[in-house]
Structure 1
Amino acid sequence: MWHESSLFTRAVRRRRDPVAVQALRSTAAAVISYVIALRLSSEPAPLTAPLTALLVVQVTLYSTLTTGIRRVNSVVAGVLIAIGFSALVGLTWWSLGLIILASLIVGHLVRVDEFVPEVAISAMLVLGVTRVADTAWDRVLETLIGAAVGLLTNLLFAPPVWVGPAGEAITDLAGRMRTLLRHMGEHPAGPNGVEDAVARLHEARRLDNDIAHVDGALRQAEDSLRLNPRVREGLLFRLVLRTGLDTLEICAVVLRVACRTLTDLAKIRDEDPLFPPPLSHALREVFDHLAVAVDSFAGLITAQVSANAEEAEARLARELATARSSRDRLAGLLLEQVRAHPAQWQLHGALLADIDRVLDELGVEKRSERLMEELDRHSRARRERHPRMARLRGPLTPS
């Protein structure tokens, strides 16, 4: 029974995999566009239509729309350049160089971004045939067919919302940060203490790569929420995830600095224990509570149901309160340690400051403040982009 459930879970995940979804959608759009182009174009093999559909269809509706518009612009610009050159010169080595140069310049002028080479490719393909005018307009027609089919594919078959994979990536990142925090609470004495401290520092540095991976997944989720008919509050979802990742990124930087501080302390103490037993126990307790708090914070920002969000927020508040109590006990013990080793007061103070910064960043009030700031910033940007719409809404807004 468990085996069947595991197979079913893997099958569902595979079905929702972006690569599989992209392959099925692109294949269907390419075949449909080729069948339509066979009926409407005079070309015996109108492969431009399926090629355009293949390149236009993306995982998200937003990227499909933007990509389709840029690709149509690039092909039409290349065709028009080829028609102009064909009326003046034939195909020679110098005319080929001129048309490539002109196409690349025009591609930047019409702002087709990554499809600038497509302008030159379209111009060369059209210029290389004998019936330039007929072939040119057939190519434009096939491009429009492929782009239209690609757009309709995502309009009729709404692409999935990739909030789930982005949430899983954030949860995995929080899990690695939780593991790092638990490792930071371990302080063996002797030569291995320095080696372990250096290993924790490398572990903290590897979080940068993890954050880059999560950022890519989050960007895909943000695109899937734009212009998607399935989502009513796409902006709020995007901002909750984005501000949550920003908080985790700040915490990751602070933890890396704390690991650097622990490494410096380990090198100074050398053979001696890094901290006396009471202080070591208090520090481990603080890091353990911070580990649970990071995990609770990830659960809060990825919660999709309001009840789950409230439970995660309550759990986070309790864990942060306990962590602050442990932090206060740790501060008193660190003060005694500074009196015993006054030369190391800067490192001890830096470690306590790093703990305070993580506690502050994970706070519920801090998260709400950051989310409201982002909402206000997006509202101001929208009013600046559409001032007339803002003036129309103004009188309708209740006072």
Structure 2
Amino acid sequence: MVKFVQRRNEPVVVQTVRSATAATLAYVAALWLLGSRPPPLLAPLTALLVVQVTLYATLTSGIRRVNAVVAGVLIAVGFSALVGLSWWSLGLLIISALVLGHVVRAGEFVPEVAISAMLVLGVSHATELALSRVLETVIGAVVGLLFNMVFLPPVWVESAGEEIEDLAGRMRRLLLDLGEEISGHHPVERAAERLHEARRLDHDVVEVDASLVRAEESVRLNPRVREGLLSRIVLRTGLDTLEICAVVLRVTARSITDLARQRTEEKLFPDEVSGALRELFAHLAGAVESYGVLITTQVSASAEEAEAFLATELSAARTSRDHVAHLLLATVQEHPRQWQLHGALLADIDRVLDELDTEKRALRLAEELDRCATERQDRHPRLDRWRQAVRSRVRVLRGAGG
């Protein structure tokens, strides 16, 4: 119980409390409206199916869930009145329910048509109970929808931002470790460990992506959120950039591991080159961390500070990169072995610098905003024309008032 209270802000805890509360309220409402004989258990069952962790998920999937439950109830009531419960009627019921689920376009909730049908068939054997079962489902659906409308689900943008910052922090630590260990003799085993760390970033990106999807849904159609579209785009484009950098880091770790296998009895790089690479990786680490802060900061002053620090780190990283390139060129001319790995290392660094560039970030945000606006116009042309007309009218009224 103590751990449950400590984790009260996590989605699973919030959803557990909300679902239990909505189901209880649905049961109380069904008892008040329909009585207690038989117990109206379909009402809390439907409320459990309807209540979602975000308002957008409730509005988009709630109707399909209710559609599926009602369809299952109706077909089960029909089977109960005509043939009753037996092994062959149960099989026929499941097939019919699944087909009906596709007919009524229940989407991903087609199995719930069959589940609801089996539950009803098992508890309702009399035709006179048909109406009460349907009413229970409707009551549960209404209570679930009203519950999410009155008690709005939390906005998960902040938690998603924290996970993105944590991801950037892990990438920063990996870059610092690569920079520290690249000097001197670098055992293959240690290089392989860093490669495994870089591969684990892929799993981390998947987890952060799931959290971001929940955050994106939490701001859609939520009256408590202003500029929800911009928040979604900033976080999504930022995570996309970090995902590309994670892939590049994995390739970089692979190149260093291959180089360590080729140079088991000597240093990976001369001391001057390794020192320059260490400095370069340190600047890249600072740039990645600043980028994570920049895309998750809601306060403009902090965002400007993070952007200025990012620009400084990128500028220093580009200078270090040019210095490393000249040193590597001289090294390759003296020792031409594995020159392709040196080139691959520089190419990976260039890719990270390009992805973190502030101008590219601004261009990507503008393109994504334009794409979203175009999609909205294509989906709802009449609504878009009405919105533009209202805005034009407001501007005219403001001009007349001025």
State if a TM-score over 0.5 links the two structures.
yes
- Please identify, of 194-203 and 253-262, the stretch whose mean Cα deviation from structure 2 is larger: 194-203
SS at match of 1:203: helix
Whether the 8 Å contact between 2:46 and 2:69 is mirrored in structure 1 is no
Alpha-carbon offset, residue 344 of structure 1: 2.1
Q: Which residue pairs with 2:31 in the alignment?
A: 38
Whether 1:339 and 2:361 are equivalent positions in the alignment is: no
Distance in 2 (alpha carbons) for counterparts of 1:321 and 1:267: 33
- Is 2:195 the counterpart of 1:168? no
Query: Partner residue of 2:22?
Result: 29
> Retained in 1: the 8 A contact 2:183–2:275?
no
Distance 1:395 1:244, change over 3 A: same
Residue 303 of structure 2 is matched in structure 1 by: 309
Bigger mean CA deviation after superposition, 36-45 or 299-308: 36-45
Greater shift in the superposed pair: 38-47 or 175-184: 38-47
Q: 119, 122, 125: which is aligned to 2:116?
A: 122
With 288-297 and 52-61 compared, the bigger mean Cα shift is at 52-61
Structure 1 stretch displaced more, 287-296 or 382-391: 382-391
CA contact (8 A) 2:184 2:271 kept: no
**Aligned residue identity for 1:275:** F
Whichever residue aligns with residue 31 of structure 1, its letter is: T
* 2:292 alignment partner in structure 1: 298
Aligned equivalents of 1:199 and 1:96: distance in 2? 55
Alignment of 1:378-393 (within 5 A): 378-393=372-387
CA distance in structure 1 between the partners assigned to 2:285 and 2:267 by the alignment: 24
Q: Tell me how far 1:395 sits from its aligned partner.
A: 6.2
For 2:398, the equivalent position in structure 1 comes to none
Distance 1:88 1:28 in 2: 37
Q: How far apart, in 2, do the equivalents of 1:365 and 1:11 lie?
A: 44
Structure-1-length-normalised TM-score: 0.91
Of 87, 95, 101, which residue of structure 2 is paired with 1:101? 95
User: Does 1:365 find its partner at 2:359?
Assistant: yes
How many residues matched?
A: 389
**Match for 1:279: what amino acid?**
V
| Cα RMSD for the two superposed structures | 2.2
Per the alignment, do residues 113 and 395 of structure 1 end up closer, same or farther by CA in structure 2, a change over 3 Å counting? closer
Shift of 1:121: 2.9
Matched, 1:156 2:150: yes
Are 1:16 and 2:20 counterparts? no
Aligned ranges 1:1-399 → 2 under 5 Å: 14-42=7-35, 43-86=37-80, 88-128=82-122, 132-185=126-179, 186-190=181-185, 192-393=186-387
**Does the 8 A contact of 2:77 with 2:124 survive in 1?**
no
Gaps of 5+ in 2: 396-402
What is the CA–CA distance in structure 1 between the aligned matches of 2:16 and 2:116, rounded to whole Å?
25
Counterpart secondary structure, 1:206: helix
Match of 1:3 in 2: none
Partner in structure 2 of residue 4 of structure 1: none
Unpaired runs of at least 5, structure 1: 1-9
Q: Which region of structure 1 is more displaced relative to structure 2, 322-331 or 11-20?
A: 11-20
Counterpart secondary structure, 1:45: coil
CA distance in 2, matches of 1:193, 1:129: 68
Does 64-73 or 287-296 show the bigger shift? 64-73
Measure how far apart 1:96 and its partner are: 2.3
* Mapped partners of 2:191, 2:176: distance in 1: 13
Distance in 1 (alpha carbons) for counterparts of 2:295 and 2:224: 20
Give 2:135's aligned amino acid: L
Aligned-partner SS, 1:15: coil
- Letter in structure 1 aligned against 2:15: Q
Q: What percentage of aligned pairs have identical amino acids?
A: 66
